[in-house]
Structure formats: structure tokens, C-alpha cells
Amino acid sequence: MSKIRTLIVDDEPLARKGLAVRLSEFDDIEVIRLCSNGQEAIDECVSGNIQLVFLDIQMPNMNGFEVARALSESVNPLPAIVFVTAFDQFAVKAFEIHALDYILKPVDDNRLKQAVEKVHTYLKTQQDNAHKKKLASFVAGITGNNCEEILKKLATGDSLADRRYPESLAVKEQGEIVRVPVVTIQWVDAAGDYMCLHCQDGQTHILRKTMKELEQELDPQLFVRVHRSAIVNTKQISKLVTQVSGEYLLVLDNGQELKVSRSYRDKVKAALAS
């Protein structure tokens, strides 16, 4: 049987080496690389056939949650991800709720064995789509501006409440505040420092926000980023067209055509398949 190609991602050199030593006891695990930061792991997963990632959570520049999100958007099939954490038993119950595996520091041999067994089950059943959806639902609400706040909650054992998204957006227009129902928004495009909300009634509302800020306010189960300057309501998508050039074009129910950026292509396809 071929060995499971594995990455260890941790900013602490001793932690990386220590886990590598533990994993060397498993005949079917092959540690391909010890990564000191998240970007190294992402690059390795994009370029190589990595099947398993042991991912530290608290790392500088890009924490484990952000790395997981990046992998879910750029790597297909997604490798099995096992979070490595120093959080206590009460805090890590948050992971159990979302059915993602984890191991505690310092690593316990029995717990590591259980994690590897779960990985075997995942690889045998090839439930990549199910794993990706669970991972996406988990990291969607914790990788924005409040990421550090969420990490603090986990560290202190506080529970993670499900993130709630607004049903409407408040837009200032000619001295008045208009509430625009989110479900009526067909697509959004950027115009400098403003966002143009194109709605079903044909109206366009101008909102002063950045694309990143607006994306974090909108439910990722309903809206998907298709370009660096465009967000689309997935319920309004009529079809995804492959052009002769190999690029993708989204066609909305109202006939509006939007180019899909290559970096967001897999994310759009996943949204349409769900």
C-alpha cells in the first residue's frame, strides 16, 4: 500500500520535529516536508499530491484556520486536515461539534493513533466533498476580522456561537437610510471605495464599504466571490459557461454576465454544486 503523503505545519521547530518523530512510527505515513508557516504549506499542497496535513493553529502572519480556508479554496482534492492545538479539553469541544479532528500539545501517542485511524477512514471512503463542506462551514465564520477574538474565546474555553448574518443592509441615500433585504441582492461590484448593490427590482444601491468588509457580512452559503471586485448571489446564477479561452463566465437569471477570476473558479464551482 502506498504511503500517505503528509505535511507538518508548525512555527515551532521542536514541535515540528517532535511530531515527525512520532509519525515515523507509522509505516504508512510519509512526512514530505516540515513547514514553518502557512504559506509554505499552501504552496506545497498546490504543487504536490499531499493527502494529510497536521496543522498548528496559533502561528504568526497566517494562523491554522486561515491556512485551512486557503487550502479549501485552492486545493482539490482537499487533504485530510488534523488541527494541532495547545487549547485545553473544554475549548477543543468546539472542534468536536464540527467533526474536525485535532490533537493536543503535548502529543499523546494514543490520541495520535486515533487521529491517523480517522485519516485512514477518510481516505478510504474518499469523502472529499463532505470533508470540504464541514471545513468550510467551520472556518467561514472565524477567518475574518474577528479571527483573533475567536482564538481568544477558544483559549479561555468560551463556546463558539453560530455566526448570524444580517437579513438586510443599511444604505444611506439622500439623507435617508434605506434597508436593502439581502435576499434581493443579485450581485455586487466595486466602484472605488463604494459597493454597488444590484437588486431584483432593477435598482442599484451604493454602499460605502470595502469588498472585504461586505464579503464578511454576507452569508457564504448564499453569496460567493467570483472576482476581486464582484460578489454574486448563488440563487441568481443561471449557468456557468466555459469560454474558448478556458475562462469562465457566469450568467445570472437577469442575463447579466460576469467574468469569473481564475483564483475564484473552484470556489464558484463548489458553490454551484452544493
Encode pLDDT of 68-123 as tens digits: 888 878 888 788 888 888 765 544 544 543 335 778 888 888 989 998 998 888 77
CA distances from residue 272 to 23, 234, 245 in whole angstroms, order as listed: 38, 7, 21
Domain extents in the chain: 4-156, 168-273
Contact 7, 67 (CB under 8 A): no
- 140-158: per-residue pLDDT in tens? 544 443 445 555 555 555 5
How much is the pLDDT for 127? 53
The pTM (predicted TM-score) of the whole model is 0.49
Q: Which CATH architecture has domain 168-273?
A: Beta Barrel (2.40)
Please give the grid coordinates belonging to residue 138: 467551520
Q: Please measure the distance between the N-terminal and C-terminal CA atoms of the chain and give it in whole angstroms.
A: 33
- What percent of the chain stands above pLDDT 70? 80
Distance CA(223)–CA(183), nearest Å, equals 10
Query: Which residues partner with 259 through β-bridges?
Result: 249
How much is the pLDDT for 186? 95
Residue 26: its H or E element:
none
| Phi, psi values for residue 27, rounded to 5° | -65, -25
* DSSP state string for 31-57: EEEEESSHHHHHHHHHHS---EEEEES
Q: Residue 213: pLDDT above 90?
A: no
- Give residues with Cβ within 8 angstroms of 96, minimum separation 6: none
Contact 44, 50 (CB under 8 A): yes
How much is the pLDDT for 144? 42
Please give the grid coordinates belonging to residue 150: 475567536
**Which among 37, 31, 67 is positioned nearest to 50, based on CA atoms?**
31
Q: Residue 159: pLDDT above 80?
A: no
214-227 average pLDDT score: 88
* Averaged pLDDT of the chain: 81
How much is the pLDDT for 161? 52
Please give the grid coordinates belonging to residue 166: 444580517
Residue 225 CA to its chain's centroid (Å): 12
CATH of 4-156, one of 3.40.50.10800, 3.40.50.2300, 3.40.1310.30, 3.30.70.120: 3.40.50.2300
